[in-house]
Structure 1
């Protein structure tokens, strides 16, 4: 954790100009709104110790080439706690961001609401949430960096409520602070634990914060127009039969989503987790830069897609839509996970959430089937009317094996059933489901 808020600002910005905000008058006679004994003295000590007059420093600066409003917490000022003066500064910061039309970067180190101001401090969280909502509605990105510790309302508003949440290694993160939570599961209250649970997008190594922020702000603020489908990286010939299409799509040597993402983008940053405690490593989501402009992507990686994967993809689509960034989806799954754990985790509602996010999106979306297109679990990732297929792919109402089972056919009839399903890429074009079959890059 950096020594001070201004030291951290110096690490991540090339230019920064702070602005001050006077706190509104409070009707009390010394010691704050609830007349906490010794509060005035504690404030004076905090000011003398840190050189700051509140627990946050706010201003406008440049992170790389991107102008942003920055909020940095001074943990040495009463534990970076959020009081009335803090709330006033945060509201002013978000208002300035909307005036300038720039993103907000919050560098957070706070123990939460300031006890010495009682409910007056706690209700600042509602004001902060309101400002964040207005800023989201204005289509401006919000990035949080958890610098440590980050607990209480600071985590539950600025941290967890940001579009993208980064964290420094070893940072204490959790709604419950170290003095009030149960003992015995300390790993859950760390940046790494929150990353594992899908609440943090990236743990940023020492010395990498400025560069990481520069990349994130660039891909969140430089949207492209509609993006073309990627070129095929695998087989160049379409399959002769339905079963040949299934066999090609299931081949272990076929290129997977990561190869397509790496080939399509100059570089990319991952959006990780569904913000409900789940991570599906079979779904890769993020934002990438291609020819100087940004696009978002949600890609299936060839495994049965779990509820967390659908919810992460829905999170990605909604965020990209709000920021006016076009979306590319890559379809490759035998289908939605259908085990008991997936059902208990809400498979149906999660798939419905993604269908809804895609249907509501107003930005251009492009979809490419790069392998298996297994039923509704694959269709949820598909953009209506803007679907393409690679030669080594298929898309079907259900798998040939499942169709044969439903129709009470034997295993010897599976291949013929695949033909009857008309699942080949050329069949998808003939049926008007796909716009075309992409070829290899020339």
Structure 2
């Protein structure tokens, strides 16, 4: 059982909050689940604490410790589960009470979490986990540890049912709680300063850097989507639920492709098409041309971003998230004009697969000179990351729409493009390879780069003629 660790940030003005106070802060109309004292066939009823005694491995004094925890918190277990409304969206809430034996997971914790997930699937509700846990409960031995398999199974069933799962990782979220309910959720929000790690504070190597075990470091490492201040949590959580639970404004809209954004006007503000291949390249590379953020801001009424590939990396040149347009949720993955890192490809893959599972159409914006090709990119698995993104786009059952807004550099751009539903702007080019690289491969001198650009037929109108693009969008 994990003890209260040293350090860490408070949840709010009152410090670490009880589970029910956290629920009250984010939800309206909370109703505790009647079956949350134990799943079907379970043994976690709240009225038989005395019969539970010292637990499944007869740990001496465990029953007394549970009794003291109940007296201190008013709870019979380390989680409180029920339904409530967050930002107008009904959801199942799983809130950990850290003051009850360190928020540790035991058999009865597993009973309650299983009951919550079963209810979520029956009622078709999203699951929100408000975690604050030190991990598995030592006093129940292996019976406690195997609850992680049980929780993972329930999470997988809920995922397969097409229901979103959002985690809010509080201070602390460590051990199996982080490795299941936390890191295993579709979207992970973290409170500032929270300890977030698999290793708890008392089992880390001597001299370990505390920052590596914090929420801010997890955000930088692509394992958390956003750090959210306590007073901003209800609104942020409500927006995420609204976006993920409202894929369309009417039946069947999830099967309707997103319309491509209109062109915003590029270098010089002219909607005319480039006359030469090299002119197309220069316009796509112009610093005056609008980038992804401008397109996303103009297209969506509101949006929330995901961050990171869940494998230790982030790419500031890739924007991924969900937005609302005309009352409809659309997922987006947008390149920002830089060479795309392996983490960027993996984040886009994560986005597309989540959108596909939830039945949300996808919009992609292509704008990259190509995949990053330095040593770090190769060591980070560039080829495998690009292959996985190609597969995600090919396998998607929801429609994917692509707009090329700038440079379309080789496979690093094509991996994000929708076959048979790619559109282009007058300010773009799309090429099998950059003209400079093509000239070098063909052993042509630098003086032949401009002519090579023409030979590649990479202009917007060429892409339509070749059948690569469906059409050219204008301002």
SS in 1 for 2:366: strand
Q: Which residue of 278, 281, 297 maps to 1:246?
A: 281
Name the counterpart of 1:198: 222
Q: CA deviation at 1:342?
A: 0.4
CA distance in 1, matches of 2:302, 2:37: 43
Alignment of 1:294-333 (within 5 A): 294-333=329-368
Name the counterpart of 2:17: 3
Is 1:258–2:281 an aligned residue pair?
no
Name the counterpart of 2:7: none
CA distance in 1, matches of 2:29, 2:407: 49
Is 1:19–2:33 an aligned residue pair?
yes
Given the superposition, is the C-alpha separation of residues 29 and 22 from structure 1 closer, same or farther in structure 2, using an over 3 Å criterion? closer
Alignment of 1:65-104 (within 5 A): 65-104=88-127
CA distance in 2, matches of 1:241, 1:102: 54
Alpha-carbon RMSD: 1.1
Q: Which runs of 4+ in 1 moved over 4 A?
A: none
CA distance in 2, matches of 1:257, 1:181: 41
Q: CA deviation at 1:29?
A: 7.8
Name the counterpart of 2:165: 142
Farther-moved stretch of structure 1 (161-170 vs 233-242): 233-242
CA distance in 2, matches of 1:270, 1:190: 20
CA distance in 2, matches of 1:269, 1:18: 29
SS in 2 for 1:207: helix
Name the counterpart of 2:465: 430
Alignment of 1:158-197 (within 5 A): 158-182=181-205, 183-197=207-221
Alignment of 1:23-422 (within 5 A): 23=38, 24-25=42-43, 30-182=53-205, 183-224=207-248, 225=253, 226-235=257-266, 236-422=271-457
Which digits, 9 at most, give the CA deviation of each residue in 1:173-200, with x for residues without a partner?
Answer: 1000000012331001111110110100
Q: In the comparison of the two structures, how many residue pairs are matched? A: 439
For normalisation by structure 2, the TM-score amounts to: 0.91
Point out where structure 1 has 5 or more consecutive residues left out of the alignment: none
Given the superposition, is the C-alpha separation of residues 80 and 262 from structure 1 closer, same or farther in structure 2, using an over 3 Å criterion? same
CA distance in 2, matches of 1:153, 1:9: 22
CA distance in 1, matches of 2:208, 2:312: 19
Whether the 8 Å contact between 1:327 and 1:366 is mirrored in structure 2 is yes
Whether the 8 Å contact between 1:250 and 1:371 is mirrored in structure 2 is yes
Whether the 8 Å contact between 2:304 and 2:321 is mirrored in structure 1 is yes
Whether the 8 Å contact between 2:247 and 2:359 is mirrored in structure 1 is yes
CA distance in 2, matches of 1:211, 1:242: 48
Point out where structure 2 has 5 or more consecutive residues left out of the alignment: 1-10, 45-50
Name the counterpart of 2:48: none
CA distance in 2, matches of 1:208, 1:327: 27
Whether the 8 Å contact between 2:43 and 2:111 is mirrored in structure 1 is no
Q: CA deviation at 1:237?
A: 1.3
Whether the 8 Å contact between 2:125 and 2:163 is mirrored in structure 1 is yes
